[in-house]
Amino acid sequence: MQLPFYIAGAVAIVATFLAITRLNAVHALLYLIVSLLSVALVFFCVGAPFVATLEVIVYAGAIMVLFVFVVMMMNLGPPAIEMERQLLTPGIWIGPAILSAILIVEMGYLFHRGVPPEGPMHVVGPKQVGVALFGPYLIGVELASILLMAGLVGAYHLSSGPGSQVETRDDIHADARRTAVGRDLVRDGVGRPAGTQERDLHADVR
């Protein structure tokens, strides 16, 4: 149980260091996802399989998807198209792919060997966690639910604040701007020359 633990720890440290030193946000997110997966494998090695599952599902699954959504929403327009073209070059994803390959080989080895033997670490299963969670920590569970509710309400309030009003006001004129430069939502100014008229899609609204 010692060697997979150290390998996963080393992968986690390398991936985290690469994540905080990247200049591009998408590259940093890739390395951060690899870091979270390796931390999940560390959890599995020290005898916490329930927490390892939660780490993969919640951290690498949900929180990282939120990050990717926001990063993709930040840069729209022609620079983003150029950046997505650069994202497909193999120099970008070869680093996270190598680290992930190390992790998946290690995971296959662990699952192939079967039930982890009792080492210096004790295996704490999901049942013990559940009993402790709804026994002495019941008030903590209620507080966590209140915190999640507060986070939900706060995120909704922030996203429906005055800043988004500006955006919707801009969107009214966005259609006119697109017809002015000969660009619409489907074709980026390649279908017809600039200046030619197209049917106003919002004519019945105005």
Partner 1 sequence: MGLAGLLARRNVIFMLMSVEVMLNAAGLAFVVAGSQWGQADGQVMFLFILTMAAAEVSVGLALILQLYHRHKSLDADAASEMKG
Q: How far apart are alpha carbons 102 and 49 in whole angstroms? A: 19
CB of 197 to partner 1, least distance (A): 31
CB of 172 to partner 1, least distance (A): 16
Task: Give one DSSP letter per residue of 106-139, joined into a string.
Answer: HHHHHHHH-SPP--SSPP--HHHHHHHHTTTTHH
CB of 38 to partner 1, least distance (A): 11
Q: How far apart are alpha carbons 111 and 105 in whole angstroms? A: 10
Closest CA to 40 of 59, 56, 24: 56
User: Which residue ranges make up the site for partner 1 (CB under 8 A)?
Assistant: 13, 16-17, 19-20, 25, 28-29, 32, 35-36, 39, 42-43, 46-48, 50-51, 54-55, 58-59, 62-63, 66-67, 70-71, 73-74, 120-124, 128-129, 131-133, 137, 140, 144, 147-148, 150-152, 154-155, 158-159, 161, 163-164, 166-167
User: Residue 32 or residue 99: which is nearer to partner 1 going by CB?
Assistant: 32
Q: How far apart are alpha carbons 150 and 197 in whole angstroms? A: 49
